[in-house]
Amino acid sequence: MTRPSAADWLLLFLLVVLWGSAFGLADIALDGFSPLQLVTGRLWIGAAFLMALVALRGQPIPREPRAWVAIIIMSVLGNALPFFLITWGQQRIPSGLTGILMAVMPLVVLVLAHFLVPGERLNRWRALGFALGFAGIVILTGPEALGALRGEGTALLSQLAILGGAVCYGLNLIVARRSPPLPAGVVAGWVVLCSAVLATIATAWTGPLWPRDAGTGPTLSVVALGVLSTGVATVIFFRIVAEAGATFLSLINYLIPVWAVMLGAAVLQETLPIKSIIALGVILFGVLASQRGQHRPVPGR
């Protein structure tokens, strides 16, 4: 178990920015696109961006059958299924509850990595880090958000959809960590391309692939989601998993709400209530606690 480097932390924070901004872009895009159209659009744009990079670098198509099995599984668990589940669920439940439900993902990774990923054993510091991170999310979004868990009918289905998306992301991290070693750009390109094909089939089954008049704002939001939050972010995702591990990357679900609060304060001049300051402190302390006890590899060993 190795301690993440400064470069790993930098890439993690960059991924926080890219994925943390995706929720706002999705809200704008949903004014002109259905959830499935949004997912399909961003995946195809992301795939075009990534496959262009693969072609420019002259990187070959993966040939190992085991690699293709992993690529297809990650296409479903990492993009197509959770993108739809979360986008659909976001329409019907408060954003605070969405944050709490998504914060389950690190727990999924902690438990699965303990049994399935060598070198990522669950210890007391990682368990403490998860507990503090989850507590921070509850403080940040407001304990009243937990009351919405008593929803019924459509609200309950929306909650289960968000929770399902979080579980998908957790499972995807484990698959990515155990997949055959390939360049991050190659894996990212083929995973997103396969995801786009799957999303296209689902969208065509339910209606038109693209709205007749989506509007400039929603269309530009889909483009940004495709290039930045899907294309660039997916390359960073696979790089971090390969270098620092799945458990380290799962911390992103705690850091994204921190980014959202800080962005609101810096850009929108929103006032930070005392509970937000306390929550951010608890979350960051949890992140630091989860990394305690790890070590850097000794050169030559």
DSSP secondary structure string for all residues of 191-232: HHHHHHHHHHHHHHHHS-SS-S---HHHHHHHHHIIIIIIII
Is residue 297 in a domain? no
The crossing angle, in degrees rounded to 10, of helices 35-57 and 184-206 is: 150
What pLDDT digit, counting tens, does each position of 112-170 carry?
777 776 666 767 777 777 777 777 777 766 666 666 665 655 677 887 888 888 889 88
Is residue 59 in a domain? yes
Is residue 300 in a domain? no
What pLDDT digit, counting tens, does each position of 18-73 carry?
988 887 788 788 889 988 899 899 999 999 999 999 999 998 888 889 999 999 99
pLDDT for residue 225 is more than 90 = yes
Is residue 167 in a domain? yes
Please give the pLDDT value at position 301.
29
Please give the pLDDT value at position 157.
80
Domain with 161, as residue range(s), is: 6-206+215-291
What single string gives the DSSP state of each residue in 270-295? ----HHHHHHHHHHHHHHHHHHTT-B
- The total of structural domains in the chain comes to 1
pTM of the model as a whole? 0.75
All residues at 6 or more sequence positions from 130 whose CB lies less than 8 Å from its CB, including other chains = 106, 107, 110, 286, 290
Confidence band for 300, pLDDT divided at 50, 70 and 90: very low
Is residue 177 in a domain? yes
Is residue 299 in a domain? no
Is residue 202 in a domain? yes
| Residues facing residue 2 across a β-bridge | 295
The percentage of the chain sitting over the pLDDT mark of 90, rounded to a whole number, equals: 24
CA distance 195 to 182: 18
Taking the alpha carbons at both ends of the chain, their separation in whole angstroms is 13
Is residue 72 in a domain? yes
